Amino acid sequence: MEFSRRQLIATTGGALTLSVLPCSAQAAQMVDVRMWPAKEYTRVTLEHDQPIKFRYFVVRSPKPIRLVVDIENLQLTSRLQKMISAVSPKDPFVKAIRIGQFSPKVVRLVMDLKTDVRPEVFALKPVATYKHRLIFDIYPANAEVDPIAGVLAGLDTPEEKKPAVAPAPKAPIKQESNKVASRPTQPKKKEIVIVIDAGHGGEDPGAVGKRRTYEKHITLAIAKRLERLIKQEKGMKAVMTRSSDHFVSLSQRVMIAQKAKAHLFVSIHADAWTKPSAKGASVYALAERGATSSAAMWLAKNQNEADLIGGANFNEFNKKIQNVLVDMTTQWKIDYSLELGHCILQRLGKINTLHRNNVEQAGFLVLKAPGIPSVLVETAFISNPHEEKKLKTSDYQQKVATAILHGIKAQVASNNSIL
């Protein structure tokens, strides 16, 4: 059943209108339509070659619930209709997507929904290889305001981490000679919570190899292998910042580590350079100021642009989340991160060439979780054809995951001050 514009507005109690720069005389062309389903939320991206005006609203009756988007001055082509029909509806929230000419100057896009939703809609200006983008982040209506609550669902809250400097031990209390001393209670051993961060995801592919290998797929594959290994270890617990191909902002990754009360944070990446000859694995830690080399500075700048490329909704970011990225690093955290990085680097050197023999430092935003030792592991150069091929193999992915785990275990065994 179709509704007129007046009926739709009456049904929803009004419509929210958002304007994104004036339209040009020539109709905009849709470049691509992409859908990123995940259990936390679904993202739908409309990429177009010019700024557009749009409005959106939700129709809740009759069923199914629909998210309606009216786009002005967009040319409806058979190619656009084909893009829409090719979008897979296999996700928790969107059942189907359709598009049609609503009026001479308005193209209407309708998403049939499986449940009531809380959409967040925003526009992005061109960046990197992307043109203008209209982003729809579709959250379930009953979801908590906290966008990362679902990531930590079911995670037992660990005990508070031990401070960097342990308090002086109290003097033992002497037992009276006529009393039988009670057997001391053995303290419960803490679990080490390790947050595994698969770099990039969703709209942000990361580096792309010559064979069209996406960094985001490699990092997720290695992260999942590391997660499985950690789950087999007694006294360790793994938390993933993402378990599917969807975008997670840098600040949300940091917040996940904080809320999980993580002891360690390991971010997994695959390096890239302008020359295909660059090769080898490397490990980075946060720098309190500056960087240890121009290459480290360049890499940090490149990684810190992930929010722009992936499409972070800066307008909707909670101030609390934004403030997470303020550097509150202690020297203890940096020292421990360097030690951890060195242990991992030694193990990586046994399975691949090392690009850098020492742990380098730079201002990586994703490593700024306050008080949590954090490292960024570049597993190999995806821009090197030989290493790109190796990164795609399950054998090398497993070796990298094992090397990271053994590095963690070696560091904790030699310095357990994080407990």
Residue extents of the structural domains in the chain: 5-140, 192-414
| pLDDT band at residue 67 using 50, 70 and 90 as cut-offs | very high
Neighbours of 118 (CB within 10 A): 14
Least confident window among 178-182, 194-198, 341-345: 178-182
| pLDDT band at residue 189 using 50, 70 and 90 as cut-offs | low
State pLDDT tens for residues 258-302: 999 999 999 999 999 989 999 999 999 999 788 988 989 999 999
State pLDDT tens for residues 245-259: 999 999 999 999 999
Please give the pLDDT value at position 141.
87
* Helix boundaries (H) for 232-367: 250-259, 294-304, 306-310, 319-323, 331-348
Q: Same topology for domains 5-140 and 192-414, yes or no?
A: no
What single-letter DSSP state applies at residue 127? B
With 0-12 / 13-18 / 19 or more C-beta atoms within 10 angstroms meaning exposed / middle / buried, residue 79 is exposed
Please give the pLDDT value at position 190.
80
Structure tokens of 418? 């994080």
160-177 average pLDDT score = 42
Beta bridge partners of 281: 354
Assigned CATH topology for domain 5-140: Immunoglobulin-like (2.60.40)
Q: What percent of the chain has pLDDT over 70?
A: 79
| pLDDT band at residue 206 using 50, 70 and 90 as cut-offs | very high
Cα atoms found within 13 Å of the Cα of residue 139, Cβ hemisphere only = 15
State pLDDT tens for residues 18-54: 434 344 458 899 898 898 998 889 999 999 999 999 9
Q: What average pLDDT does the chain have?
A: 83
What's the CATH architecture for 192-414? 3-Layer(aba) Sandwich (3.40)
State pLDDT tens for residues 316-363: 555 555 556 665 668 899 999 999 999 999 999 999 999 999 999 999
Tell me how far CA of residue 76 lies from CA of 82, 83, 86, 104, in angstroms: 11, 11, 16, 10
